[in-house]
A and B are shown apart, each in its own frame.
Chain A
């Protein structure tokens, strides 16, 4: 601890001990504990206590009967635990009987303060920190803490109850660390008393008729098996598994969700899954006992396991597929599709039993689709993967939701009534449909997929969230369609689809919902990025109104849409897909050039998103040598930098530096390293003399921009500028020619200006700088030092412990009764 903090600590401890002094901000005590944690983890807690006796004084003060603030009491309990985590400090505190008085019956446990959940939580967290060594275990046994923890498992506060369960797991693990690990064969009867007590408690809870107690026991076991893979866990499971299996005999199965978690945790444990204690049989039994909704997560968990008996996997997959089988059955799908789903072994279930009501139907279908979506990309997914029936079922569900399916049976009619217009199922089905694009399917089904997607994209009933997902799924399916052999164009089917899709897009771009316009533009940008160079796509796009509408959206009232329109227009222009001003379709012709339009957005748009999007487009254009830029690159860069330097949004200024870096690389040659800021000389230095190479940079006033950015009040801008200048300095080192022996007075005047900027003055612009002056200034600057300073977070001072202590002390007295304010 630094001396300043040591000096402040006694005053703070006396403030904390004084119940009349309110603690200003509840985050302060948390931050104080963070600081103590750092200190105790780095050094001796005993030394900390000895050097700061005020801490001990504070803890002792908590023992006096008084009207203590629950927050300070909770803080003290946590601090005591933290300090006692080191055994020598624990012994030291034990000498004064401090710990039993804090954590035992005599402490807050028996007092009025115990009613505050924060105190109970502090008590648990204190013990959690303390329980690190064998002496702590004896202490826990002596002060009867374990019984209190048992009761806290059922605490009214979720946080306390959950922490109590975790503490039990921790104590169990600690008590078995020595004895049972050394002797894996040791039976529970030979385990330490503390561990035996916990095991008995778990057993008792599992036998209980009350579901909350069973849940607590199951949760403790789940955490234990999830975190600890020592051999003793196997002994524990062998002893408890019959009790767990007994739960399955009850109807309904109690605490099903926790039971599933436990069984999966056991199955995932390398120690337990390899043992033969009937785990797979229990899992199989559980799958058949649980309701379809409860069994879904278990089935998914089983299918995610790396190793598992094939029969169990088949059973699990059948459970997962059951709802979709039901859908196919009810809608009388082609028998082939049904067989491949149904053939996985499960008994045929009817819609009436599996999907009896709207709520049950919607809930189960959403879960099933989400589970299958998670399973699809995994290498351990079932093989063969029933791609075709899954596609068929998903398309059917989407049709039932949109009302375009015509059910032929009563069951189908019921399903239709449940699902029609259901946005939740639509979202889940579209997500899954998108994932299914990773696999192939029969041509006929793929056609159906495109048809249903088109239906959703066209339908006026599609909600904005559904449309967004429909766009995403469409892009994924287009991306996965096979390319025409010999050329990289879309296959004829996809082409056909695209011809139907493009007339839909303008409607979406004119939607009154900004969300829809934006999703449409995002989709368009992705499409151009992927197929912008392909003839078929280009023809279709140019024949549509899309490019024109996209450009109109540059003036959309919603800034998100303007930003997306900027990105899309930038892409269109890069690919030569922009509607030309001189085209016969646009008489009048005097259309503003896109560059001018984007520059206008950059200088005038009141929102940051469109301005940032413009910078992104400009950088990309510069990188790609876009025609509008290549004509007069220097003029372009100079104009953009000038506007960007004035921007209030630091991200725009930072992107200005990104653009400057691209220009710099193009002018001086690319750095050899992958990292753009790596300070390494280029492999082959261009032959031109340095001054000549730097002149274009000087002409675009890149240095003025970079030097100003170096002292920008927003740290990322300053950092980026520093990296850019360091890169430049390294580059210039390899050039021939003048080595910075510029005009001395001019160098001095630039340095003076830089100092003024650093001090916060805006000052006059530098004007044109000669390359020699730039080189001289660059060499004289301590850029490395600046980079070091910038690497530290700028609120480092405010975040320091000294600042925290000062703030807490300063608040005393300054805080009036009603001044604890909020927004």
Chain B
């Protein structure tokens, strides 16, 4: 029995590092290859030994698919391809291919710089890994090999994020990666057609949440920034180079323009140009509004947001600075934070998640006295705010996507077990489909019904059409023919054609039956009585009395003979072909009932 098997090595009942193995139609695909930012040893990567034990990685895996550029989805890729040794194709969208190496490079530098790690992938490894990437367009069916094909759909979330359909023959799986069902200021909403996959693997980060209005959060954010600037304070917004940062920049830029604010806004040097470049390059991936207005005005060419210089941090007066990295664990954002932390007029807004151990995590959990290097204690007097701008589908959005794709079953990943449990029940109730939520290392096996394509000969099809019945997908119809299996192909042809093609002689197979009739008359007379009876009963059929005394009804032949032992009994010998089996049986049962008495 064919089956689909899914084993998460990461993202199974957690939001750590996505890495899901799917076996479908004998093909093995790895969905995402993420890294856990919370660890700084090998535990940050998925445990690939569970794949390597099946032999060489490149032989085992047919391809790797990366849904988007966030490190929890692609961070282990250079390790996997250059250090573990995967040499096969890696698929991702064009924007992901362009942005992925920048984030990997940023992370590498922090790992090597801050943590002093030596056993980490190098720049050259990132480049060599990216050379194995095959970039795909949205809705383009990409043939990985003769049997395996993939197709990308728009997922929102971040620039270039995609959902992927993986198809082998008639079996298919859709993997959503991270997605957002509501459009934001620079990206559109996720969309997929009614592809009815055997399985939909969906993220479930906000499995139990109906998110508050985005407008409210935006208003809140702008209000807080405005207040801080008005009171002469400095606002630090630690961000990752690309992603949510651009959403917040558009928000602030528009607000500054509307309110005619003068306080400067800065963005880490180099990044604005870089972001601008990529958003221009991939303008088709942004939302409709940005695409429409692009000709008159590029939304990413900011009037109020300028490149930051290290020396600006000491300038007097209010300012807003977007600085990297986003968790305040190294580099420029941490440097500025240390300078500004002591002033209660200042503010830091954390727009995303921070892992344990980072300064971001500490201040978000309310710690206000931080021990820095050299036993120095940094007292945090500045205002600390947390506002999540991560763009994931909420419970409503997930349900909407399930409804849109109409899968036969659903599998939840990238979420917390308790929340998944709730959503699982909801999906099962509402859509009447099975829903799974395997933990990391657990395998879900789904049996699938094989669908075998069969070609039909034109002759046979024409013959059927001649009967006036046109093919109709909704009304299955019985069709007789001969199935020929040759060279892994199935063809249905007429029996005559099959005999001709295969060079076989036709054999007639006839069923025979004896019916005893009590009739003392001569055989010819009995046959005549049978003929008359059948002629009167079977009006729609051609009943004939042949010169040799036998009777025929279509292909059915009836002959009367005397009983060897009992002259008062006649034996009717009935024979018919298998094509007329129905009529043959009917006729036999009719004769068994006896002949009507002759009118005297």
Binding site for B on A (CB under 8 A): 24-28, 30-31, 70, 116-118, 156-160, 162, 257, 297, 358-359, 363, 366-367, 370, 423-424, 427, 464-465, 468, 515, 518-519, 560, 606-609, 612, 648-651, 713-716, 760-762, 789, 793-799, 803-804, 806-808, 810-811, 814-815, 818-823
Contacts and interface: CB of A to CB of B under 8 A. Distances in A.
Given A26-B38, A117-B441, A807-B362, 13 more contacts: A31-B356, A158-B50, A162-B50, A424-B88, A518-B127, A650-B113, A789-B373, A794-B114, A795-B330, A806-B367, A814-B366, A823-B352, A823-B353
A799 B15 contact: no
Given A30-B39, A158-B441, A814 B113 contact: no
Contacts of A810: 362, 365-367
Contacts of B269: 648
A117 B131 contact: no
15 contacts: A27-B356, A70-B417, A117-B442, A118-B439, A370-B58, A423-B89, A607-B274, A715-B116, A716-B113, A794-B116, A796-B373, A798-B362, A807-B361, A818-B209, A821-B352
Interface string B367-405: 100011110000000000010101010000000000000
Nearest to B391: A823
Contact of B386 (A28, A465, A649, A819): A819
A28 B356 contact: yes
B426 interface: no
Given A117-B441, A158-B441, A715-B116, A257 B55 contact: yes
Interface residues of B, number: 91
Given A358-B146, A606-B274, A822-B205, A157 B441 contact: yes
Nearest to B376: A797
Contact of A117 (B50, B268, B439): B439
A427 B439 contact: no
A713 B352 contact: no
Given A162-B50, A814-B364, A818-B206, A156 B59 contact: no
Given A158-B50, A651-B109, A760 B338 contact: yes
B373 A822 contact: no
A764 to B, nearest CB: 11
Q: Is the interface of B mostly helix, strand, loop or mixed?
A: loop
Given A25-B356, A358-B146, A713-B335, A821 B314 contact: no
Contacts of B40: 799
Q: Is the interface of A mostly helix, strand, loop or mixed?
A: helix
B253 interface: no
Interface string B26-52: 000000000010111001000100100
B388 A821 contact: yes
B358 interface: yes
A820 B270 CA distance: 31
Interface in B541-591: none
A363 B147 CA distance: 14
B439 A804 contact: no
Contacts of B205: 822
Interface string B262-286: 0000001110011001000000000
Contacts of B240: 823
Contacts of B268: 648
A519 B178 CA distance: 33
A796 B371 CA distance: 10
Nearest to A719: B116
B454 interface: no
A518 B123 CA distance: 14
A157 B442 contact: yes
A560 B39 contact: no
A795 to B, nearest CB: 6
B339 interface: yes
Contacts, number: 189
Contacts of B538: none
A157 B439 contact: yes
A70 B14 CA distance: 13
Contacts of B358: 798
B270 A648 contact: yes
Contacts of A798: 329, 357-359, 362
Contacts of B130: 515, 560
Kindly name the residue among A158, A468, A519 whose own CB sees the greatest number of chain B CB atoms within 10 A: A158
Contacts of A612: 123
A650 B362 contact: no
B442 A27 contact: no
Nearest to B116: A793
Given A158-B443, A160-B441, A762-B311, A822 B72 contact: yes
Contacts of A156: 442-443
B270 A366 contact: no
B329 A795 contact: yes
Contacts of B147: 359
Kindly name the residue among A157, A359, A760, A823 whose own CB sees the greatest number of chain B CB atoms within 10 A: A823
A667 B475 CA distance: 92
A369 B322 CA distance: 52
A15 to B, nearest CB: 13
B114 A793 contact: yes
Contacts of B54: 257
A815 B416 CA distance: 14
A799 B270 CA distance: 30
Contacts of A31: 356-357
A811 B372 contact: no
B194 interface: no
B310 interface: yes
B59 A797 contact: no
Contacts of A358: 146
Contacts of A822: 15, 72, 178, 205, 353, 390, 392, 414
A156 B147 CA distance: 29
Nearest to B146: A358
B373 A366 contact: no
B14 A821 contact: no
Nearest to A25: B356
Interface in B88-130: 88-89, 101, 105, 109, 112-116, 123, 127, 130
B355 interface: yes
B131 A519 contact: yes
A645 B158 CA distance: 34
Nearest to A115: B439
Contacts of B55: 257, 297, 367
A158 B442 contact: yes
B127 A158 contact: no
A129 to B, nearest CB: 17
B21 to A, nearest CB: 10
Contacts of A821: 352-353, 388, 390
A417 to B, nearest CB: 11
B70 A823 contact: yes
Contacts of A159: 47, 50, 440-441
B56 interface: yes
Contacts of A607: 274
Contact of A761 (B59, B113, B314, B365): B314
A82 B466 CA distance: 81
B357 to A, nearest CB: 5
B243 interface: yes
B367 A762 contact: no
B357 A804 contact: yes
Given A31-B356, A823-B72, A650 B109 contact: yes
A525 to B, nearest CB: 13
B59 A366 contact: yes
Given A714-B113, A823-B72, A465 B132 contact: yes
The 5 closest A-B pairs by CB, nearest first: A27-B38, A159-B441, A810-B365, A821-B353, A157-B441
A494 to B, nearest CB: 27
B16 A26 contact: yes
Nearest to A715: B113
Contacts of B72: 822-823
A608 B105 contact: yes
Contacts of A815: 365
Nearest to B368: A810
